[in-house]
Amino acid sequence: KSAIHRLLEEFKTNTDAKASLSTSTDKLDDLSPEANTALFHICQEALGNAAKHARANSVDVNIWSNGSRILMEVKDDGVGFDLDKT
C-alpha cells in the first residue's frame, strides 16, 4: 500500500470517520521522492484540518493527473466556515 493509503487507514482508525481514496493516474509511481513526500504532507494536513476544524464524519481524497500535473482534491462533510469571517 502507498503511504497515502496508510495515512487514510490511520485517519479512519484515529477519528472513527469514513475516508476514501480514489486515484485515476498511474503517474504516482513515477513521482520523485520529494514530490511523493510533498503530496503526503499536503494530504496529512488536509486530513488533520478535516478532523480538527471541520469535525468531519466523512472525507474523500481524489488524486488525478492533468498532463504533467498531479492534482489532489480533499472533500469532507464538516461544518465549513464563513468566508466573510476569514
Structural domains of the chain, ranges and CATH numbers in brackets = 3-78 (3.30.565.10)
Phi first, then psi, for residue 63 (nearest 5°) are -125, 130
Question: So what's the pLDDT on residue 10?
Answer: 96
Question: So what's the pLDDT on residue 85?
Answer: 82
In the Cβ-directed half-sphere of 14, how many Cα atoms lie within 13 Å?
A: 13
Question: So what's the pLDDT on residue 31?
Answer: 83
Consecutive 10-residue runs of the chain (86 residues): their mean pLDDT?
Answer: 91 95 82 91 96 93 90 93 79
Residue written as grid cell 488524486: 63
Question: So what's the pLDDT on residue 54?
Answer: 87
Question: So what's the pLDDT on residue 20?
Answer: 96
Phi first, then psi, for residue 75 (nearest 5°) are -115, 145
